[in-house]
């Protein structure tokens, strides 16, 4: 199994890049795991309390479970990937049965900050977009897809997102094997990654 880790700040385009990569690949050969699915369960908190969580700090992620799941996939086992709701700020009761594939892509803002995960990745990719570009994308996306308003996004950006990006995410770029510039759609980079994957699938 080839495991590819794709990191980068919020709004840099990780999910979009992953979708572009897997778009033309055989469905049964490539699987995707999102770090967002591994936000820790917060059912013991009220909704109000959950809105105040710093979701950009590594302590909010259940890295142990994510690591365990990757080991199980490597061992050819099927895992139950949790499903996360950005509207409820919590895991749902659902899970997605995720099958082991020849290539597994793991994407998330903090995945390159974790030493154990880094060791599992055969290829480490960091997607870069400038912070103003990322903020604009995040405002648009969170309003249309994640039930937020401009005030929520901007407040979160100033209080937690920007400082956590500077403290944890940007420094993790040094662990990347490949950095994809993504201020604009970067089809050349997508094709290169797809070629690497295709070589593994032959």
Ligand X SMILES: Nc1ccn([C@@H]2O[C@H](COP(=O)(O)O)[C@@H](O)[C@H]2O)c(=O)n1
Ligand Y SMILES: Nc1ncnc2c1ncn2[C@@H]1O[C@H](COP(=O)(O)OP(=O)(O)O)[C@@H](O)[C@H]1O
User: Any contact of residue 29 with ligand X (CB under 6 A)?
Assistant: no
Contact by Cβ (8 Å): 30, 22: yes
User: Any contact of residue 132 with ligand Y (CB under 6 A)?
Assistant: no
User: Any contact of residue 36 with ligand X (CB under 6 A)?
Assistant: yes
Assigned token pair, 72: 């199980």
Q: What is the nearest approach in angstroms of ligand X to the Cβ of residue 130?
A: 15
For residue 192, the Cα-to-chain-centroid distance in whole angstroms is 20
> How many Cα neighbours within 13 Å face the side chain of 79?
23
Q: What is the nearest approach in angstroms of ligand Y to the Cβ of residue 42?
A: 20
Decide whether 118 or 146 has the Cβ nearer to ligand X.
Answer: 146
User: Any contact of residue 63 with ligand X (CB under 6 A)?
Assistant: no
Q: What is the nearest approach in angstroms of ligand Y to the Cβ of residue 21?
A: 12
Decide whether 8 or 31 has the Cβ nearer to ligand X.
Answer: 8
Report what 121 binds from ligand Y, ligand X, none; CB cut-off 5-8 Å by kind.
Answer: none
User: Any contact of residue 129 with ligand X (CB under 6 A)?
Assistant: no
Residues 6+ apart with CB under 8 A from 119: none
User: Any contact of residue 55 with ligand X (CB under 6 A)?
Assistant: yes
Q: What is the DSSP string of 115-159?
A: HHHHHH-SEEEEEE--HHHHHHHHHHHHHHHSS--HHHHHHHIII
Q: What is the rounded CA–CA span in Å between residue 185 and residue 190?
A: 9
User: Where do contacts with ligand X occur on this chain (CB under 6 A)?
Assistant: 10-11, 14-15, 36, 39, 55-56, 86, 89, 109, 156, 161
């Amino acid at each position: 199994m080839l495991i590819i880790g794709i990191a980068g700040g919020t709004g840099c385009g990780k999910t979009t890049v992953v979708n572009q990569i897997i778009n033309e690949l055989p469905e049964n050969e490539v699987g995707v795991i999102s770090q967002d699915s591994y936000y820790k369960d917060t059912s013991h908190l009220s909704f109000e309390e959950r809105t105040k969580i710093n979701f950009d700090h590594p302590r909010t992620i259940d890295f142990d479970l994510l690591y365990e799941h990757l080991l199980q996939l490597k061992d050819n086992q099927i895992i139950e990937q949790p499903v996360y709701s950005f509207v409820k700020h919590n895991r749902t009761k659902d899970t997605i049965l995720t099958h082991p594939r020849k290539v597994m892509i793991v994407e998330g803002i903090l995945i390159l900050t974790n030493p154990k995960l880094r060791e599992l990745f055969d290829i480490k990719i960091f997607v870069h977009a400038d912070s103003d570009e990322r903020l604009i994308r995040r405002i648009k996306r969170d309003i249309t897809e994640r039930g937020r308003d401009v005030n929520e996004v901007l407040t979160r950006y100033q209080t937690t997102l920007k400082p956590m990006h500077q403290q944890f995410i940007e420094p993790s770029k040094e662990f990347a094997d490949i950095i994809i510039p993504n201020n604009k759609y970067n089809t050349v980079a997508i094709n290169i990654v797809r070629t690497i994957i295709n070589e593994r699938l032959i």
